[in-house]
Structure 1
Amino acid sequence: MSSPAAETPWYKQFWPWFLLGLLLSSVIFSMVFLFFSVRYYDGSVTADYYKKGLAINEQLAKQEHASQLGLSAALRVDNVTGDVIIDLEGERQPAQLHLALIFPTDSDFDRELMLNHVRGGRYVTTLEEPLQYRWYLQLQPKEGEEAEWRLTGEIRFPEDSDRDITLVPGI
């Protein structure tokens, strides 16, 4: 007579542990992804996106107005001293200029600078710390959406900091 094969208990077999491992790994990965999505929220969609979309006509009017005034600017940044120098050309020469440095992917890195008029069309301010990576530039006579004109440009630090960056009318 043959005796039945002795069966091993479930906890000594491979397949139950393999299936439990798959379930446990999916729970762990889900928790890690949840943590990162909450911790590093990018906030790319604003709550009033419709109103901002309608405001594009105002931005186009700012661009057209800057073009009519013949405005352009040359921006230089000294990464060693942190000096930001803008030479503004055109009819308007306000007492101060507002320069917005906009980081493309994370608004937490955005910077706002006020440049003071020195002489002629030259405006100067100082950065607290050197910048890195790519930035969008928006130059206006005052802060906010009520500014009458806007010049825009783009700069990559530290590669472009040793040459003049041209700011032209744009959105």
Structure 2
Amino acid sequence: MSAEHESIPPWYKQFWPWFLIGLLASSVTFSLVYLTLSIRYYDGSVSGDYYKQGLAINQQLAKQEHAQTLGLEARLLVDDRTGDVVVDLQGDRQPEQLFLELIFPTESSRDRSLTLEHVRDGRYVGMVNEPLNYRWYLQLQPTEGRDAEWRLTGEARFPSDDEIALVPGL
């Protein structure tokens, strides 16, 4: 008869219901966290003309080979305090303007374009509005857009007091 009188504790005092509720609650919590992160840090979708962009790599390589045959090379220096950008271009071509693309590796919204004016003997100057931080990819070309006849590329970590080399090549 003592077996019949043994009391079973209520459900909220037992381990297993709380374990199962905890699993469900953690699943919902992690789902909401991942949803928030994916909305906040949306990285865009695949472009519709990805195939054409893939074929365009040959054109990019041709631009850089052309820069190499012209003997082009550049040194870039950015003053962190004033925002001045100075490029010294060496080679056969000295256009009146150069276009510098500053490409941030992970966020396209942070990309910047600068127009550099020819001052003298292959020296070009321009200015950035905000200080540069972290790592950037650099592309220097004589005209804006994809129709430039040559391109120099480089990579830099800012802030930096060192000169950055821009050379033909990927």
The 1:129–1:84 alpha-carbon spacing in structure 2 relative to 1, beyond 3 Å, is same
Q: Percent identity?
A: 69
The 1:44–1:86 alpha-carbon spacing in structure 2 relative to 1, beyond 3 Å, is farther
SS in 1 for 2:52: helix
Unaligned runs of 5+ in 2: none
SS in 2 for 1:26: helix
Q: 1:5 deviation in Å? A: 0.5
Residue 13 of structure 2 corresponds to which residue in structure 1? 12
User: CA separation in 1, counterparts of 2:78 and 2:10?
Assistant: 72
Name the amino acid aligned to 1:98: F
SS in 2 for 1:101: strand
Q: Say if 2:52 is the partner of 1:54.
A: no
Q: 1:12 deviation in Å? A: 2.5
Name the amino acid aligned to 1:33: Y
Residue 103 of structure 1 corresponds to which residue in structure 2? 104
Q: How many residues align?
A: 169
| 1:145-160 → structure 2 map (5 Å cutoff) | 145-158=146-159
User: CA separation in 1, counterparts of 2:50 and 2:75?
Assistant: 32
User: CA separation in 2, counterparts of 1:133 and 1:70?
Assistant: 30
Name the amino acid aligned to 1:128: N
User: CA separation in 1, counterparts of 2:64 and 2:26?
Assistant: 53
Q: 1:54 deviation in Å? A: 0.4
Q: 1:151 deviation in Å? A: 0.3
Residue 70 of structure 1 corresponds to which residue in structure 2? 71
User: CA separation in 2, counterparts of 1:68 and 1:105?
Assistant: 32
SS in 1 for 2:167: strand
Residue 27 of structure 2 corresponds to which residue in structure 1? 26
Residue 164 of structure 2 corresponds to which residue in structure 1? 165
> Could you give the per-residue CA deviations for residues 49-107 of structure 1, whole angstroms, max 9, x where no partner exists?
21111001101110111111111111111111111000111111111110001111221
Q: 1:45 deviation in Å? A: 4.2
Name the amino acid aligned to 1:100: E
User: CA separation in 1, counterparts of 2:142 and 2:105?
Assistant: 22
> Could you give the per-residue CA deviations for residues 94-134 of structure 1, whole angstroms, max 9, x where no partner exists?
11110001111221111111101111211101111211111
| 1:105-144 → structure 2 map (5 Å cutoff) | 105-144=106-145
Name the amino acid aligned to 2:169: G
Unaligned runs of 5+ in 1: none
SS in 2 for 1:169: coil
Name the amino acid aligned to 1:67: Q
Name the amino acid aligned to 2:90: E
Q: 1:168 deviation in Å? A: 0.8
> Could you give the per-residue CA deviations for residues 137-167 of structure 1, whole angstroms, max 9, x where no partner exists?
1000111110110000111112xx2121111
TM-score (norm 1): 0.93
The 1:44–1:80 alpha-carbon spacing in structure 2 relative to 1, beyond 3 Å, is farther
